[in-house]
Structure 1
Amino acid sequence: MFYGLTTIHKFENGTAGNISLSTFIVLLKVVGQISTIDNLLPELPESPYLMRRDDKKVQRVRNSK
């Protein structure tokens, strides 16, 4: 992928609008801030679908074909 200087300049100034997530991630790499992406995304809570009533985790079962 190739991103022009104008795109990077708009991104750094906060004026780049309507960019895709993949472009955003690449631009974070370009400006050397990819390591801070963990600060942007919250930690996901455990899914209630994976818990049984007795607070044990549900085991995944693969069905045979």
Structure 2
Amino acid sequence: MVETLKKGVRVTGPQRDKLAADLRRKYDGGKSIRTIAQETGRSYGFVHRLLSESGVRLRSRGGATRAKKVRA
């Protein structure tokens, strides 16, 4: 389980590898980067960077998209 980390604390070495593996497991399980960031107390950018460094293929953005207007 990913523990909540103090904001601004550097994560290096084996601790960073373990954290990256935990974050990857959560992301592969379907959680969003934003949700993982809230759970761990880290920023969106930190989680995104750690996932990218660990080789995760990031999903595309979700949510509503704008439909094209049909002209009469």
**Which category describes the TM-score, using the shorter chain as reference length?**
0.3 to 0.5
Q: Which has the higher contact order (CA 8 A, sep 6+)?
A: 2
